[in-house]
Amino acid sequence: MTDQHSKTKTNGAGGPAMREVRDSVVVRFAGDSGDGMQLAGTQFTMENALAGSDLATFPDYPAEIRAPAGTTYGVSSFQIHFGAVDVKTAGDELDVLVALNPAALKVNLRDLRIGGTVVADSGSFTARNLAKAEYEGSPLEDDTLAPYQVIQLDIGQLTRNAVEHLGLSSRDALRSRNMWALGLLLWMFDRDKQATVDWLRAKFKGVESAADAAVATLSAGHAFGETVEMPTKIPGYTVSRAELKPGLYRTVSGSDALAWGLVSGLKSSGISRMVFASYPITPASPLLHLLARMKELGVVTFQAEDEIAAACAAIGASYAGSLGVTSSSGPGIALKTEAIGLAVATELPLVIVNSQRGGPSTGLPTKTEQGDLFQAVYGRNSDAPVAVIAPATPADCFHVAREAVRLATRYMTPVFILTDAYLASAAEPWLIPDLTTLDDYPVEMRRDPDGFQPYTRDGSTLARPWAVPGTPGLEHRIGGIERDSATGNISYDPDNHHEMTRLRAQKIAGIAADIPEQSVELGPEEGPLAVVGWGSTYGSLFKAVERSRAKGMDVSHIHLRHLSPFPRNLGDLLGRFERVLVPELNAGQLLAMLRSTYLIPAEGLNRVAGRPFRISDIEATIVRLLETERTA
Amino acid sequence: MSHSVLPQLKPKDFASDQEVRWCPGCGDYAILKAIQKTLSELEVPRENSVFISGIGCSSRFPYYMATYGFHTIHGRAPAVATGTKLANPDLDVWVITGDGDGLSIGGNHLVHALRRNIDLNIILFNNEIYGLTKGQVSPTSKRGTLSPTTPRGSVANPISPATMALGVGARFVARSVDINQAHLVEVLKQAHANAGTSFVEIFQNCIVFNDATFADFTDKAVAKENQLLVEDGKPLLFGAERDRGLRLDPATWTLEVVRPGENGVRSEDVLVHDETNRTVATMLAGLEPPEFPMALGVLYRDPAATFDQQVLAQVEPESEGRGLADLLYGGRTWKVGD
Ligand SMILES: Cc1ncc(C[n+]2csc(CCOP(=O)(O)OP(=O)(O)O)c2C)c(N)n1
Ligand code: SF4
Ligand SMILES: [Mg+2]
């Protein structure tokens, strides 16, 4: 459907043999915040994963917990793109939109492709709900939906019918509408429902009546597609298995992968304890919640009184020989700024996770953005360099977290991980790594008092020794006041300060020798155009370049994991392209960094709408750049 | 028979090689001496003590100790110390803070350390002024204080640190005076012995910017008369002749000063100090000269489970249980290929 060449095998009613074949499909479940759309989407994802599809998901929900029912700003949605092909994004356009109320239709219809399918719960299109969604008349009755295929069903009534025999109240019965819709969609795409049944049984363990109701509704939705008569006939599709590398898979969200990556990094470092200090904030909280359940893996979580305290506690923990990690989103990172400067000055390991969201200020708490790159790289008083890295996909969060732990402990420095709202909740299939094959990077604490000075540096990394309280003979004082480059004693000496500033910068710059050279994701290593990105835009950029290349355009995709310092060959690599396009979900931050670092006339493609890029927008820009002459 | 055991380390063994840079005559010198003496008498190993401070004259303290020390950022020492304690609960962690550091910019952290009851000794040097930034009013400055930011006198009410600590649920609250060397050492030892957050307010004279602000109870001439040295189980008597005491006025539920033997007051009418009585401790913390004596010593002590021990108890038990692999393979998985 969305992705290129879809072909119709048959176009008839009913059974699996008559199903249309699709390479990939984009489905969005949309309804009120209280309608259980995230849950339906998550289960739909699981069934597709188990059926062998490659996939990517995009949950989207309002900032309010219980926004007034039926309003457009209370709409919650879950998008999934699944297919037999290599799926890298949640998809530009929808093939199927499930709308459980008028507001959900109103907000989401613009994303449905012409000719796509709407599944609408007609029972919810009451005068009241239409008014709340600011529809003048019912879109099910006028020509609003003329460009689409419409399946109107009174899902509320069908749900009530399904649980009639269980004697539930009408209100309780209606709670399962999401399960009915899920059942129907599973049938449409020829997916099993067993994993969902198992999951429901486990979730409602002890409350059998609730489990029975949910399972009965799910089954009713599933059976409906099979048995329904004309004219409501439901189309059926086949999406075959993707060619994934052999191995054992699971789905993983960016938050999961980040949590596991931090724990894996902790193990590889040989440090016995991680102190993860944070303060609740959307969309960073899930990481705190996940790690709070990993206590037996050496993780101590601390919900501090504010973000300043969280950063400080993480620093205090690193000072005492644990791995200090702190996490937040933009506004909270702003509060941590002074403490991060302290970690730079005292040269202590610190991992800082920023789950970026729309800003400035409170901005768009649940929406994605890449606006905090400058904040991470430059956002401190004085010259205070740190390392900054960014994951490209949910699964990549695992490896980026491990890399952050490695750099923080090896270089005695704060390391930023720039993830975002999209990566935090988006999910994809993940080939579970064999933990025994991961490289360890054991940390050596200083123990020997002989010749010890707190600021003498390792010849190759320029890191100072990690000397932990409790170690006899190493008693020393550190702090934020400038210190002598060797003894660590307070020093206001002008030349010493100059030298220390230089050393701090050189230490971070030196990391470039310890990270891989920048590679090209797709396309040749030179040519008329490179598309350069970082972070969660990976999928959109890759797909846009892939499609452009398929159309014969000479364009390459380069995606940065390391943003400070840049990979050592990056300047050379970019220099081999005539033009450099830097798409970002901000007003041009990497763009400015590349221009100022390498003095190249890179060009930006910037969009700050709180959502991922559309592949087609990037493609259009590629075409425009390749077809126009360079102007300046 | 009692043995007199010589301390392993003398007070001077706890002094670092760094030159002390406070103004001559600053009360901080006396406190430094008292803490070095305390550690020496406690016979603690140097490597196990950590002094963590914020910013201010007082917060320079760690540089002058031969232990581990961390001079952090303004107001945040309790937060840093919390992380240190969660990383290694076996360390003896001391927080050094000032009235501006601990009650203004860092008030939030102080409140939360106290309510959590994490095992820290928090020592607040109260000089009722911002020393390091050259004499602006602080949250403990008396009304009417003249300073560069309040040239016509300050108009805000001061915080009583001990009252605040009691109000937020501190389990150990004590007070002493920089120059009462013996008393101060004893109070610090008690603070050290207490498991949980021990809060000690020390009245410290800033000779440069707020000289003699505590003179009404620290001046040699009036000290005996105006200091009430509380001791658990002992009557709340004070004065050079210990001829005055505190009695609870049942009509107003307030404390009043009485003279046993006069006006029909019996000695048993004088309140006996009960360290575990938060209500009376709060009343004591609020007393001020000239009407009342200044109450010094351990005003309140009622130990409870510490934050660090409870947090770490949740971490330790299952350590041998699930591994990371169990988590990764534990969810819904599926096989591709073969
Ligand atoms: C973030 C920040 N704000 C302001 C300052 C300036 N500053 C340093 S010490 C201080 C006040 C210290 O007062 P107090 O805690 O009472 O310590 P004292 O010097 O009196 O011992 C201030 C405002 C700073 N260092 N950091
Ligand atoms: S300014 Fe006051 S508090 Fe600071 S060192 Fe001088 S006398 Fe002590
Ligand atoms: Mg002060």
The per-residue pLDDT for range B269-300, each reduced to its tens digit, is 999 999 999 999 999 999 999 999 999 999 99
Minimum CA–CA partner of A491 in chain B: B18
Cβ separation of B328 and A294 shorter than 8 Å? no
Confidence of residue B311 (pLDDT cuts 50, 70, 90): very high
Ligand 1 atom having least distance to the Cα of B102: 15
What value does the mean pLDDT of chain A take? 93
What value does the mean pLDDT of chain B take? 95
pLDDT at B79: 98
- Please tell me if residue B6 touches chain A, with a CB cutoff of 8 Å: no
The per-residue pLDDT for range A133-162, each reduced to its tens digit, is 999 999 999 999 999 999 999 999 999 999
pTM for this one?
0.94
Cβ separation of A263 and B50 shorter than 8 Å? no
**Measured between alpha carbons, how far is A74 from A68 in angstroms, rounded to an integer?**
6
- Please tell me if residue A308 touches chain B, with a CB cutoff of 8 Å: yes
A451-456 mean pLDDT = 96
Q: Is the pLDDT of residue A230 over 90?
A: no
Cβ separation of B68 and A298 shorter than 8 Å? no
Q: Tell me whether 0.95 is exceeded by the ipTM.
A: yes
pLDDT at A12: 38
A236-260 mean pLDDT = 93
The per-residue pLDDT for range A588-598, each reduced to its tens digit, is 999 999 999 99
Using a 6 Å CB cutoff, which residues line ligand 2?
B 22-23, 26, 28, 57, 127, 131, 206-209
| Ligand nearest to the Cα of B132, by number | 1
Q: Is the pLDDT of residue A170 over 90?
A: no
Q: Which residues in chain B (153-192) have CB-CB distances under 8 A to chain A? A: none
The per-residue pLDDT for range B3-34, each reduced to its tens digit, is 445 457 999 999 999 999 999 999 999 999 99
pLDDT at B323: 87
Q: Is the pLDDT of residue A7 over 50?
A: no
The per-residue pLDDT for range B128-140, each reduced to its tens digit, is 999 999 999 999 9
Q: Which residues of A483-550 form beta strands (DSSP E)?
A: 527-534
CA dihedral A562, A566, A569, A574 (to 10 degrees): 100
Confidence of residue A234 (pLDDT cuts 50, 70, 90): confident
pLDDT at B316: 67
Confidence of residue A232 (pLDDT cuts 50, 70, 90): low
Q: Is the pLDDT of residue A11 over 80?
A: no
- Which residues in chain B have their CB less than 8 angstroms from residue A264's CB? 324
Residue whose structure tokens are 């009408």? A170
Of B45, B73, B88, the CB nearest to A320: B88
Per-residue buried b or exposed e for A423-454, using 16+ beta carbons within 10 Å of the residue's own CB: bbbbbbbbebbeeeeeeebebeeeeeeeebbb
- Establish how many alpha carbons lie within 13 A of residue B186's alpha carbon, considering only the half-sphere containing its beta carbon: 14
pLDDT at A167: 85
**Measured between alpha carbons, how far is A478 from A492 in angstroms, rounded to an integer?**
15
pLDDT at A229: 65
User: Whose Cα sits closest to atom 2 in ligand 2?
Assistant: B206
pLDDT at B60: 98
The per-residue pLDDT for range A537-550, each reduced to its tens digit, is 999 999 999 999 99
pLDDT at A422: 96
Structure tokens at A255: 């938050």
Q: In what order do the strands lie in the sheet with A75-83?
A: A54-60, A75-83, A24-32, A94-99, A112-121, A149-153
Q: Which residues in chain A (151-190) have CB-CB distances under 8 A to chain B? A: none
Residue predicted with more confidence, A175 or B86: B86
Q: Is the pLDDT of residue A622 over 80?
A: yes
- Cβ atoms A160, A195 nearer than 8 A: no
pLDDT at A632: 42
- Which residues in chain A have their CB less than 8 angstroms from residue B70's CB? 316, 319, 346, 477-479
Residue A208, min C-alpha distance to chain B (Å): 22
- Cβ atoms A274, A296 nearer than 8 A: no
- Please tell me if residue A275 touches chain B, with a CB cutoff of 8 Å: yes
Cβ separation of B83 and A315 shorter than 8 Å? yes
Confidence of residue B2 (pLDDT cuts 50, 70, 90): very low
Cβ separation of B112 and A305 shorter than 8 Å? yes
Confidence of residue A225 (pLDDT cuts 50, 70, 90): confident
Confidence of residue A173 (pLDDT cuts 50, 70, 90): confident
Work out the percent of chain A whose per-residue pLDDT is above 90.
89
- Cβ atoms A235, A375 nearer than 8 A: no
- Please tell me if residue A294 touches chain B, with a CB cutoff of 8 Å: yes
Minimum CA–CA partner of A471 in chain B: B47
Cβ separation of B76 and A489 shorter than 8 Å? no
Do the bridges between strand B49-53 and strand A24-32 make them parallel or antiparallel, or are there none, so unpaired?
unpaired
The per-residue pLDDT for range B26-51, each reduced to its tens digit, is 999 999 999 999 999 999 999 999 99
- Cβ atoms A443, A428 nearer than 8 A: no
A341-362 mean pLDDT = 97
pLDDT at B320: 54
Q: Determine phi and psi for B199, rounding to 5 degrees.
A: -105, 120
**Measured between alpha carbons, how far is A465 from A469 in angstroms, rounded to an integer?**
13
The per-residue pLDDT for range B87-112, each reduced to its tens digit, is 999 999 999 999 999 999 999 999 99
pLDDT at B1: 40
The per-residue pLDDT for range A19-78, each reduced to its tens digit, is 889 999 999 999 999 899 999 999 999 999 999 999 999 999 888 877 888 999 999 999
Ligand 2 atom having least distance to the Cα of B56: 4
Cα angle for residues B127, B133, B136 (degrees, 5° grid): 60
pLDDT at B5: 52
pLDDT at B8: 77
Cβ separation of A320 and B82 shorter than 8 Å? no
Ligand 2 atom having least distance to the Cα of B58: 3
- Please tell me if residue A447 touches chain B, with a CB cutoff of 8 Å: no
- Which residues in chain A have their CB less than 8 angstroms from residue B312's CB? 300
Cβ separation of B69 and A470 shorter than 8 Å? no
pLDDT at A65: 79
Q: How far lies A423's CA from each of A60, A405, A612, B123, in Å?
A: 12, 19, 10, 44
Residue closest to B87 by CA, chosen among A444, A466, A315, A304: A315
**Helix or strand (DSSP H, E) at A378:** helix A373-378
pLDDT at A520: 98
Do the bridges between strand A24-32 and strand A75-83 make them parallel or antiparallel, or are there none, so unpaired?
antiparallel
Minimum CA–CA partner of A324 in chain B: B83
